[in-house]
Structure 1
């Protein structure tokens, strides 16, 4: 996953001086505050995107600091190499953040950022196949060199599987009707373009009262399924907890209710004792390993005015404890 949902940089905000129209990602200041970047710290950005958050972390690091960058997307890695590859404080690795467990440098980290979902550059480039508003190949893979595309999956999946994906990952109420239409349409010609799929969905699902595109939920659901986003998130959260040192911070930005629920439950599971059950034998003493630092953090009105994509962003931050349930001084 690669998650820079960009917004135009405002005066006074750090940004890339090499670009005339600099941008910052969603919740930029809130992320940096949550990570509590220290000059000699070690940090990992597991979803580099286009480097907005990473640049902010690097600006706060001293000569002894370390920044590790990961992304599935080869285009994101190319941007990372071009913009950060010459900095001796930076290491770059292509792959899912689930792979941090196999990266020797990703140990005893002071902070980890996971900015989930699809990035603005991915949405804006029609050839990536993420957007129902731009016609392009029906792909949707964050790593175009791995797995099957959305077109390949829609060509082989049966009606029930398609309906289940649309309902579970998109909460699409018309999932069965859409799945039925997809199966009927592909019998006439293959679904290979985003406009084909968007128009097909629009022909069987009326536009809602909020005037959003009828294909919104379906495209989201298919993307999540194709990229195994929820499975990766589950594995990535476990890997992040193991990679943090005591006192290290985990910051996760999600844009989907299922993702946010997983993050919230993960933090709660490691920070709060499970409720007691008088019918069961007394459990061993619970020792928390995480502390939630506040609740859900959302974009403010100023940010929402310049970036509509920030409206669904939720940031949660947690700190790893010292092994005895206490915070590191």
Structure 2
């Protein structure tokens, strides 16, 4: 793994907000290029350790972080609670998740994540998964495509987009990124890059079950984060950020928290960042992909 496999975002803010015990056990739920784990290890003492997860086999194979305090699992973070039980670990001191796509995934044409390259439209973070974006585009009904473009892409004209794709796939299967773009560009030509980015985002989130996995992660955090432990989550679009914000605030996905028999609110978290933390101008200048990142931090109470 080269050092530019992925540039970690908001490192100083994460280090300052996450580490409560330099001898503790921490989780990096999205290992990627290992930049966050490497920085965390530099702050931990020899008794500290990190359990890191990544569903992308290429991230595991190309790991350059050589440290006995790091244990790396080729798993989606939705399985972390099960793995912790297997390891005999009941609680951890802190949890980090960076929900973005890695630079390596975006910059590798054959992964099919980017609108910049003409290649098979794949988008699987775990390449062993059965369903690719190509499968979704060519087999989903107009109604199912409408749902994912509306829900995950937050596109107002989702039905029109879904219909345009279905019409094209009836003539000929759409197999590559550029074929998808050409199938819709005549219908939707305004703010082209931003629009296409949302189309690709919606497909990627459906392929990888990202919202379902995020919800499972948040529920797990309630169980495995010890009292006083911190959780830090970086998201990149409003749908994920709203889920994280609501869960940190209420301890569940409803708009109001649970209450006990006497009407007392049962709040599992203390929100440490009432507003999201954004990268500063200097970080964005060095790494433009950091521009849409937003960090939220909470403490288990």
- What TM-score do you get using the length of structure 1 for normalisation? 0.84
Once the 2 structures are TM-superposed, how far is the Cα of residue 22 of structure 1 from its aligned partner? 9.2
Q: What is the RMSD computed on CA atoms of the aligned residues?
A: 2.5
- Structure 2 residue aligned with 1:112, among 95, 99, 105? 95
Q: Deviations over 1:214-270 (max 9, x none)?
A: 411111111111111111101111112211111111000000101000000001113
Correspondence 1:274-313 to 2 at 5 A: 274=256, 283-295=262-274, 296-313=276-293
| Alpha-carbon distance, 1:118 to partner | 1.3
C-alpha distance in 2 between matches for 1:173 and 1:275: 30
CA distance 1:276–1:40, shift in 2 (3 Å): closer
Task: Classify 1:292/1:214 alpha carbon distance in 2 versus 1 (closer, same or farther; 3 Å).
Answer: closer
Give the Cα–Cα distance (whole angstroms) in 2 for the partners of residues 166 and 112 of structure 1.
Answer: 30
Superposed CA deviations along residues 33-88 of structure 1, whole A, max 9, x for unmatched, are 110254311111000011111110011112111111101100111123xx23x522
- The answer to whether the 8 A contact 1:43-1:67 is kept is yes
Contiguous gaps of at least 5 residues in structure 1:
1-15, 322-329
Distance 1:276 1:47 in 2: 29
Q: Partners in 2 of 1:275 and 1:213 — Cα distance?
A: 35
1:50 aligns with 2:29: no
| 1:158 aligned onto 2:141 | yes
The whole-number CA distance in structure 1 between the counterparts of 2:148 and 2:20 is 39
Given the superposition, is the C-alpha separation of residues 161 and 285 from structure 1 closer, same or farther in structure 2, using an over 3 Å criterion? Answer: same
For 1:42 and 1:143, the matched residues in 2 are separated by 26
CA contact (8 A) 2:32 2:102 kept: yes
Give ranges in structure 2 of 5+ residues lacking alignment: none
- How many residues of Structure 1 are paired with residues of Structure 2 in the alignment? 296
Deviation, structure 1 residue 176: 1.9
Tell whether the 8 Å contact from 2:5 to 2:33 is kept in structure 1 after alignment: no
The answer to whether the 8 Å contact 1:24/1:53 transfers is no
Report Cα offsets for 1:86-136 as digits up to 9, x if no partner: 522111111111111101345321110011031111111111111111111
CA distance in 2, matches of 1:125, 1:23: 12
Q: 2:176 aligns with which of 193, 196, 201?
A: 193
CA contact (8 A) 2:5 2:103 kept: no
User: SS where residue 191 of structure 1 aligns?
Assistant: coil
2:161 maps to 1:168: no
SS at match of 2:291: helix
CA distance in 1, matches of 2:168, 2:258: 53
Mapped to 2, the partners of 1:292 and 1:318 lie a distance apart of 4
The 3 A distance-change label for structure 1 pair 92 and 187 is same
Q: Name the SS for the 1:318 alignment partner.
A: strand
Find 2:229's aligned residue among 221, 235, 248: 248
The 1-side partners of 2:258 and 2:133 are apart by 45
TM-score, reference length from structure 2 = 0.91
SS state of the match for residue 294, structure 1? coil
Aligned to 1:327: none
1:127 to 85, 100, 110: 110
Q: Give 1:313 deviation, angstroms.
A: 0.7
Q: Over residues 183-242 of structure 1, what are the superposed CA-to-partner deviations in whole Å (9 max), with x where a residue is unaligned?
A: 11112211111111122222210132xx63541111111111111111110111111221
Bigger CA radius of gyration: 1
Return the offset for 1:283: 4.4
Q: Is the 8 A contact 1:202 1:214 kept in 2?
A: no
